[in-house]
């Protein structure tokens, strides 16, 4: 019962092991194929793409390839079909000389998935090798006394094939004295022995020729032969005997070439030639024959080629000792090679990424490494590690493969490139190591928004700036790289005083320079707050903003504005305002009279105002507060002080340069409002000087000169026309019109008669015609007319007989009086003088000439003036004179009578001229 339980336990363990192996193969994606040897290059091995479940497009895109370990590649992967094919002709006997099952391994990596698939290909044997003997001819020496049944070891045939194609049987052909016996060795090999079937007789036959044939089990079978020559010798009593039936040798793989590994010894009791022993190798592989050499005389086994534990860890050879009589003995030598840590770990980068995105998830495979050590035991145990402290881990995947994976999140901004050094150290003493460096560049991901250099920006901009002036430059940096780090700037939407913000300022998209698009006025906009956005070029883009405070700095561009005194009629100076204040004459010093109120639209120091008295009628009577603008009396008003005081107050700010304004105050020194109104009324009645700017006066002056010039031309033309007309009238009427005037009092020029004596009148006119008057001084009257007749005699009218006038005594003294007045005048600025010469009046004034004198000569004067000048005013004078004649000495307007007696000399001269004139007239 216990035997059955143990049997079922073994079956369960075997089944479990089989399941575990199947699960392991499925987990790691192992594939197994079998192909015969000696296939031509490019022969089909297996459909890898189908067996791994890979689609052909994914196969091309994922980068599937066979890993190269630096050894001969016997297989290749067809990229278009996904088939595994042979890369060259495979000889199983060459690759797997002493191995029953020849398996070749390769790894297929899918780089897109960082996945490795292991493929095993078993190379099956074909009967491509015939059995062969190391020596084609073998000579054996036997004594004729050798007893029948004795056995002699023959050389074994070697067939590199395996399984049924290997060596299967031996056959002996030759003589009946010999037979063949085949013994099975410890490893299952066949050892041929020659058996003596009959006694030998040298006299019958000294030599025997035999043929040993070895055959394999292939179809068709292959054979190999060796010729054996048996020489019959005289009697030889003793055969050589080895001291040990088997020699065992342990030798290090680093033993130097030429070293004696072992010396075999065999003794022969015979003497002479039968006792001389020699040694030979009867069974040795071709590989071992190149490494070891046996001295036939001494039996020393010498190393002729370096040992390599990785190529062969044990060897077995057969040594035969034979004497001169043909007797021999056989022994085996087992050589075990011990490993030495002479191989450093070999590290191969099967697959590695050169770039990795910084947003790769932890556990992302970066590289696949294959590490192996050809040594064995502790010398072949390898420990791998990453040298630096980096965010990567090294994991063992299966067998000798390791994976480098990310241990956490990567940040390109902290580390843009990694150089990972993976070190492999074996367990030998001293330990050997190797390393591999992986260069990994971290690709940028747009995970950082632009960051401004300052938390907030502020700038001061003086008002009245030029349009397009640079205000400030904002700068933002992006820790990303490439397009993700390209920053562009823009303004957020907003409004300033109802207008879009973009009409006030703009930002340069590439540089972040902020420009003013218009000239700012501090009095309108004192501060502008805005937001500037910085946006990178990633997808999707990230952005950040910063506040910008633009402070407008005031400049002294506004002069102070006077609010009180209120605006009035502009003064002569053309600036400031007029105001009237009342100050009692009994006011004490310091009494408040008025206060000048002014404001400045600027701010700060530019709006600090100071007041000072610039001009005053009485400089010491008033003072002005420097900062208050209060006008106060500085002393008691005196009687001699004028009633009207004019004060000019200058208001200045403290800007650079300072701007100012003036205010004009009129202070009336009066005790009551009635006196103030009386003073203001007299001031209103008084003529005021014209006020205006210099420009206005210049324009008026130019216009006046132009008008006068055109008026002069027009007047000249009119005079010329009138002269021509008068000449025509005088020619028709003759000289009868002036019969009342002596001819000596006229002179004729171009048919126009005029008085020889001149009259000079001084006339003073004002804007108010009620106060205008004409004053004729006594010295201005000349005796240009004849002496007047007595008052009781009526003066003859013009045109009457001149004889009556001639009867007047020319020598009698005469008082010539002229009474002239002007009842209305056209206003003319200023005071002017009017000169009347020879009754030719060129003034444009419209005046009335009133002659109240009833004298004949006065009538003659008015008539002459009326006829000569044709002035409507003079014509109107005749009418007024006729009215005055009836009223005698009554006058239209009050006039001043200016008379003077005629000098005696002048009377004499006049009488002489009259006499001469009479005579000539009578003639």
pLDDT higher than threshold 80 for residue 840: no
**Distance, CA of 180 to CA of 172 (rounded, Å):** 6
**Under 8 Å between Cβ of 142 and 326:** yes
Nearest to residue 398, comparing CAs of 14, 25, 19? 25
**Under 8 Å between Cβ of 214 and 133:** yes
Place of tokens 């409507």: 872
**Residue pLDDT, tens place only, 515-538:** 999 999 988 898 999 999 999 999
**Residue pLDDT, tens place only, 74-101:** 888 887 788 899 988 888 888 887 677 8
What was the pLDDT predicted at 534? 96
Place of tokens 């109240």: 852
* Packing angle, helices 872-886 and 856-869, rounded to 10: 160
**Under 8 Å between Cβ of 763 and 833:** yes
**Under 8 Å between Cβ of 326 and 139:** no
Residue 541 token pair: 């883009």
Residues in a beta bridge with 660: 652
**Under 8 Å between Cβ of 549 and 456:** yes
**Under 8 Å between Cβ of 355 and 443:** yes
**Under 8 Å between Cβ of 407 and 392:** yes
**Residue pLDDT, tens place only, 300-323:** 999 999 998 888 888 999 999 988
Give whichever of 54-58, 478-482, 797-801 has the largest mean pLDDT.
478-482
Residues in a beta bridge with 226: 212
Confidence of residue 748 (pLDDT cuts 50, 70, 90): very low
Half-sphere CA count of 26, side-chain side, radius 13 A: 6
Residue 49 token pair: 């793409």
What was the pLDDT predicted at 237? 67
| CB proximity list for 731: less than 8 A, separation 6 or greater | 751
**Under 8 Å between Cβ of 854 and 795:** yes
**Residue pLDDT, tens place only, 121-151:** 998 888 888 888 888 888 888 877 788 888 8
Cis peptide bond N-terminal to 657, omega within 30: yes
**Under 8 Å between Cβ of 561 and 663:** no
Nearest to residue 117, comparing CAs of 55, 34, 26? 26
pTM higher than 0.75? no
Place of tokens 């003079």: 874
Q: What are phi and psi of 30, to 5 degrees?
A: -80, 140
Nearest to residue 105, comparing CAs of 115, 94, 96, 114? 96
Give whichever of 175-189, 454-468, 784-798 has the largest mean pLDDT.
454-468
């Amino acid at each position: 019962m216990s035997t059955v339980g143990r049997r079922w336990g073994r079956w369960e363990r075997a089944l479990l092991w089989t399941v575990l192996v199947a699960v392991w193969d499925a987990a790691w994606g192992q594939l197994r194929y079998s192909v015969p040897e000696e296939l031509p290059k490019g022969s089909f091995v297996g459909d890898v793409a189908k067996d791994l479940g890979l689609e052909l497009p994914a196969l091309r895109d994922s980068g599937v390839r066979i890993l190269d370990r630096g050894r001969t590649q016997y297989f290749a992967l067809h990229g278009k079909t996904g088939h595994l094919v042979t890369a060259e002709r495979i000889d199983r006997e060459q690759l797997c000389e002493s191995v029953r099952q020849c398996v070749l391994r390769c790894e297929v990596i899918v780089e897109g998935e960082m996945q490795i698939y292991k493929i095993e290909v078993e190379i099956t044997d074909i009967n491509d090798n015939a059995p062969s003997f190391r020596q084609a001819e073998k000579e054996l020496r036997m004594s004729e006394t050798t007893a029948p049944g004795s056995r002699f070891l023959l050389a074994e045939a070697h067939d590199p094939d395996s399984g049924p194609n290997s060596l299967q049987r031996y056959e002996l052909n030759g003589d009946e004295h010999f037979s063949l016996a085949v013994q099975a060795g410890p490893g299952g090999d066949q050892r041929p022995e020659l058996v003596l079937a009959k006694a030998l007789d040298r006299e019958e036959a000294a030599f025997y020729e035999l043929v040993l044939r070895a055959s394999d089990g292939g179809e068709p079978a292959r054979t190999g032969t060796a010729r054996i020559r048996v020489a019959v010798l005289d009697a030889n009593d003793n055969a050589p005997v080895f001291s040990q039936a088997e020699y065992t040798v342990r030798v290090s793989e680093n033993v130097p070439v030429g070293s004696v590994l072992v010396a075999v010894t065999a003794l022969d009791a015979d003497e002479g030639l039968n006792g001389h022993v020699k040694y030979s190798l009867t069974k040795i592989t071709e590989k071992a024959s190149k490494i070891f050499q046996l001295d036939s005389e001494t039996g020393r086994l010498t190393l002729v080629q370096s040992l390599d534990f990785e190529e062969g860890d044990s060897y077995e050879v057969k040594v035969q000792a034979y004497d001169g009589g043909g007797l021999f003995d056989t022994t085996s030598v087992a050589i075990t090679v011990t490993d030495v840590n002479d191989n450093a770990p070999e590290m191969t980068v099967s697959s590695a990424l050169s770039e990795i995105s910084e947003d790769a998830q932890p556990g992302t495979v970066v590289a696949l490494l294959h590490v192996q050590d050809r040594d064995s035991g502790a010398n072949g145990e390898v420990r791998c590690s990453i040298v630096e402290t980096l965010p990567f881990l090294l994991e063992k995947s299966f067998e000798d493969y390791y994976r480098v994976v990310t241990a956490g999140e990567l940040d390109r901004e902290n580390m843009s490139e990694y150089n990972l050094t993976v070190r492999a150290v074996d367990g030998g003493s001293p330990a050997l190591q190797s390393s591999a460096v992986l260069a990994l560049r971290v690709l940028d991901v747009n995970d950082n928004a632009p960051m401004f250099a300052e938390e907030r920006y502020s700038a001061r901009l003086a008002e009245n700036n030029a349009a397009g002036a640079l205000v400030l430059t904002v700068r933002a940096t992006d820790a990303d790289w490439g397009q993700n780090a390209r920053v562009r700037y823009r303004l957020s939407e907003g409004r300033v005083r109802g207008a879009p913000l973009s009409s006030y300022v703009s930002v340069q998209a590439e540089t972040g320079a902020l420009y003013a698009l218009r000239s700012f006025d501090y009095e309108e906009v004192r501060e502008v707050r805005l937001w500037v956005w910085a946006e990178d070029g990633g997808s999707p883009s990230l952005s950040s903003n910063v506040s910008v405070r633009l402070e407008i700095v005031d400049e002294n561009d506004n002069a102070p504005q006077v609010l009180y005194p209120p605006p009035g009629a502009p003064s002569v100076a053309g600036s400031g305002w007029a105001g009237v204040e009342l100050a009692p004459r009994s006011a004490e010093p310091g009494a408040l009279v008025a206060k000048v109120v002014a404001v400045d639209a600027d701010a700060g120091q530019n709006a600090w105002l100071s007041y000072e008295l610039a001009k005053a009628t009485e400089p010491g009577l008033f003072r002005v507060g420097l900062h208050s603008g209060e006008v106060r009396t500085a002393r008691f008003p005196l009687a001699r002080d004028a009633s009207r005081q004019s004060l000019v107050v200058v208001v200045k700010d403290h800007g650079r340069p300072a701007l100012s304004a003036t205010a004009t105050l009129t202070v009336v020194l009066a005790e009551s409002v009635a006196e103030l109104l009386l003073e203001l009324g007299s001031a209103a009645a008084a003529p005021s000087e014209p006020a205006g700017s210099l420009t206005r006066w210049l324009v008026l002056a130019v216009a006046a000169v132009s008008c006068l010039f055109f008026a002069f031309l027009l007047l000249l033309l009119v005079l010329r026309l009138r002269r021509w007309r008068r000449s025509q009238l005088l020619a028709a009427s003759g000289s009868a019109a002036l019969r009342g005037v002596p001819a000596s009092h006229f002179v004729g020029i171009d048919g126009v008669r005029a008085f020889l004596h001149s009259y000079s009148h001084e006339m003073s006119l004002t804007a108010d015609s009620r106060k205008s008057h004409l004053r004729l001084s006594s010295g201005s009257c000349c005796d240009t007319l004849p002496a007047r007749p007595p008052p009781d005699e009526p003066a003859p009218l013009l045109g009457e007989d001149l004889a009556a006038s001639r009867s007047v005594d020319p020598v009698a003294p005469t008082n010539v009086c002229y009474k002239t007045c002007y009842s209305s005048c056209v206003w003319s600025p200023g005071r002017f003088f009017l000169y009347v010469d020879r009754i030719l009046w060129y003034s444009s004034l419209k005046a009335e000439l009133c002659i109240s004198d009833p004298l004949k000569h006065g009538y003659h004067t008015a008539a002459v003036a009326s006829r000569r000048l044709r002035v409507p005013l003079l014509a109107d004078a005749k009418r007024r004179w006729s009215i005055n004649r009836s009223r005698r000495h009554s006058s239209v307007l009050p006039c001043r009578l200016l008379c003077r007696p005629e000098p005696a000399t002048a009377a004499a001269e006049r009488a002489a001229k009259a006499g001469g004139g009479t005579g000539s007239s009578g003639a």
